């Protein structure tokens, strides 16, 4: 029987099941990598903020922070 479990993978590549398991069965498995969760509010705000970020006035306001070329 096929079974799916949700896991997290830490920075060192170790797999940690999100729900307690007595033990993983011996055998083979397939691992499907999911996209990392995205903060929906940030995703929705980006287009609105981009309108302001891309104005010439914004470039002029921040020009003093740019390194000399």
pTM above 0.85, yes or no: no
- Residue 8 parent element (H or E): strand 7-9
Q: State residue 27's pLDDT score.
A: 87
pLDDT band at 68 (very low <50, low <70, confident <90, very high): low
Q: How many CA atoms lie within 13 A of 41 on its CB side?
A: 0
Rounded to an integer, the average pLDDT of 11-40 is: 85
């Amino acid at each position: 029987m096929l079974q799916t479990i949700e896991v997290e993978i830490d920075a060192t590549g170790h797999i940690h099941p999100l729900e307690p398991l007595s033990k993983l069965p011996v055998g083979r498995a397939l691992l499907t990598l999911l996209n990392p969760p995205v903060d929906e509010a940030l995703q929705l705000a980006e287009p609105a903020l981009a309108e302001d970020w891309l104005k010439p006035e914004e470039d002029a306001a921040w020009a003093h922070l740019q390194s000399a070329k």
